[in-house]
Amino acid sequence: MIPFNKPHLTGKETHYIYDAVNSGQLSGNGKYTRMCQEWMEHKFGFGKCLLTTSCTDALEMAAILLNIKEGDEVIMPSYTFVSTANAFVLRGAKIVFADSKPNHPGMDESKIEDLITSKTKAIVPVHYAGVACDMDLIMEVAQKHKLFVVEDAAQAIDSYFINKRGEKKALGTIGHLAAFSFHETKNIISGEGGMLAINDAQFYDRAEIIWEKGTNRSAFFKGEVDKYGWVDVGSSFLPSEMVAAFLFAQLESLEGIQARRTQIWYTYQNKLAHWCRSNNIKLPRVPEYATNNAHMFYLVCESKKQRSQLIQYLKDHDVLSVFHYLSLHKSEFYQNKHDGRALMECDRYADTLVRLPLYFDLLEEEQNLIVKAINSFSFE
Ligand SMILES: *Cc1c(COP(=O)(O)O)cnc(C)c1O
């Protein structure tokens, strides 16, 4: 069976973990944590980076930093992972879900302004499949209504938005805050892991405090204060040095990882184009203003029945393909709290989107087998 995902190892991970273990500092915020954070800031131009134990944690830090409280409203897509919403629900926020676009599973930016009320505090765009939301539109609306923007960039490492001035901006550098994931299903991994990118300097100091259990321990170690204590709310959001050491090995191999993933992505696109056209199946769309970080390759079927047929057929041919999110506004937990608006496009992607295996170690002959299987399939 060709799996849907296989975590890729560069070979350097255990070497750096060995070094971290022998260096004597095992807890967080040590040498490897700082190396990863500086690497990220330098490579992509984030204001400041803090490694976290997951993207979920980075989103929770964002909600604390924005002082989200009972009754605040936060706008985000319904077609996303539960953590995008949970982080804000934990602070008492009401989630106002936006629909997806007709031609992309990402949130429909043109509908955001209609959802803003006097209680709205933040917009949380999710760069689905690592493909940028229209950040010009989102930042414009946010500025006009004095809202914060938190990019859920979990899937969006090494992906860019080309703004209306023609500047190429890394995703995660545009919103006030951004959250990344290094879960083993993402392009760059550390098992579980994440990062908060902070672009608005007003949050730099407080982010470090929240990160270190609500203490000013970071400032203490930098010699900025002469004792450390409890100064704010916070939690234990930082990963250990072993996790950071693993991540550093992956970052060093970013270019090679991205090159191989991109090759697989375009092979799918080229070799499936004809079959998709004949069967009225949609290929992933990358708008003019976005780059492609080859995080995910998906197909959008015409119906749920078609999708089930395709998934079953591939399974019969030893290929594991999977569907993705269920609409959050219809989830067991949130359906009674949702305001009742129908979100048709989101529901459509929940029913019809299927993801194909895409990972560094997918062999050429395995991909050929997948492509060949699909090309010889016809729907009932
Ligand atoms: C993977 C993912 C998350 C969660 O990341 P973790 O690191 O597993 O917490 C959140 N949002 C999106 C859009 C994701 O794809």
Provide the CATH number for the domain around residue 299: 3.90.1150.10
The residue whose CA has the least distance to atom 8 of ligand 1 is 183
Domain co-membership, 200 together with 212 = yes
C-beta of 55 in contact with ligand 1 (< 6 A): yes
Number of H helices, E strands in the chain: 12, 13
Domain co-membership, 247 together with 345 = no
158 near 187, Cβ under 8 Å?
Answer: yes
Strands (E), the chain: 48-52, 73-77, 94-98, 100-101, 104-107, 120-123, 148-152, 160-162, 168-170, 177-181, 194-198, 298-300, 353-355
C-beta of 54 in contact with ligand 1 (< 6 A): yes
Domain co-membership, 158 together with 20 = yes
Could you list the residue range(s) of the whole structural domain that residue 273 is in? Answer: 254-375
Measuring CA to CA, which residue among 76, 74, 75, 79 is closest to residue 345? 79
User: Of all atoms in ligand 1, which is nearest to the CA of residue 126?
Assistant: 13
Residue 57 lies in a domain: yes
Residue 115 lies in a domain: yes
Query: What b-and-e string marks burial along 301-317, b requiring 16 or more CB atoms within 10 Å of the CB?
Result: beeeebbebbbebbeeb
For ligand 1, the distance from its centroid to the CA atom of residue 150, given in whole angstroms, is 14
Domain co-membership, 79 together with 141 = yes
C-beta of 264 in contact with ligand 1 (< 6 A): no
C-beta of 51 in contact with ligand 1 (< 6 A): no
Domain co-membership, 284 together with 360 = yes
Which of 157, 183, 349, 353 is the best mutation target for the ligand 1 pocket, counting ligand atoms within 8 Å of the beta carbon and taking the most? 183
Domain co-membership, 236 together with 201 = yes
C-beta of 155 in contact with ligand 1 (< 6 A): yes
Q: How many CB atoms lie under 10 A from the CB of residue 142?
A: 22
For ligand 1, the distance from its centroid to the CA atom of residue 280, given in whole angstroms, is 30
For ligand 1, the distance from its centroid to the CA atom of residue 239, given in whole angstroms, is 16
C-beta of 81 in contact with ligand 1 (< 6 A): yes
For ligand 1, the distance from its centroid to the CA atom of residue 237, given in whole angstroms, is 15
Boundary of a domain, candidates 252, 281, 316: 252
Which of 51, 52, 53, 56 is the best mutation target for the ligand 1 pocket, counting ligand atoms within 8 Å of the beta carbon and taking the most? 56
How many Å apart are CA 304 and CA 147, to the nearest integer? Answer: 37
Residue 4 lies in a domain: no
DSSP, collapsed to helix, strand or coil, labels residue 181 as: strand
C-beta of 56 in contact with ligand 1 (< 6 A): yes
User: Of all atoms in ligand 1, which is nearest to the CA of residue 192?
Assistant: 7
Strand partners, 180: 195
Residue 3 lies in a domain: no
Which pLDDT does position 345 carry in this prediction?
98
C-beta of 199 in contact with ligand 1 (< 6 A): no
Boundary of a domain, candidates 206, 225, 252: 252
For ligand 1, the distance from its centroid to the CA atom of residue 114, given in whole angstroms, is 27
Provide the number of structural domains found in the chain. 2
Residue 138 sits in a domain whose CATH number is: 3.40.640.10
How many Å apart are CA 323 and CA 300, to the nearest integer? Answer: 10
Domain co-membership, 203 together with 335 = no
Boundary of a domain, candidates 222, 252, 282: 252
Domain co-membership, 138 together with 227 = yes
Domain co-membership, 228 together with 356 = no
Instruction: Write out the chain's pLDDT in tens, 380 residues.
Output: 999 999 999 999 999 999 999 999 999 999 999 999 999 999 999 999 999 999 999 999 999 999 999 999 999 999 999 999 999 999 999 999 999 999 999 999 999 999 999 999 999 999 999 999 999 999 999 999 999 999 999 999 999 999 999 999 999 999 999 999 999 999 999 999 999 999 999 999 999 999 999 999 999 988 999 999 999 999 999 999 999 999 999 999 999 999 999 999 999 999 999 999 999 999 999 999 999 999 999 999 999 999 999 999 999 999 999 999 999 999 999 999 999 999 999 999 999 999 999 999 999 999 999 999 999 999 98
Domain co-membership, 71 together with 92 = yes
Residue 1 lies in a domain: no
DSSP single-letter state for residue 165 = T
Residue 218 lies in a domain: yes
Domain co-membership, 19 together with 149 = yes
Secondary element (H or E) of residue 164: none
How many Å apart are CA 93 and CA 121, to the nearest integer? Answer: 9
Q: How far is CA 377 from CA 10, 152, 309, 310, in A?
A: 36, 36, 10, 8
Domain co-membership, 261 together with 248 = no
311 near 322, Cβ under 8 Å?
Answer: yes
Residue 219 lies in a domain: yes
DSSP, collapsed to helix, strand or coil, labels residue 369 as: helix
Indicate the pTM of the whole model.
0.98
Quote the tokens at residue 248: 């550093």
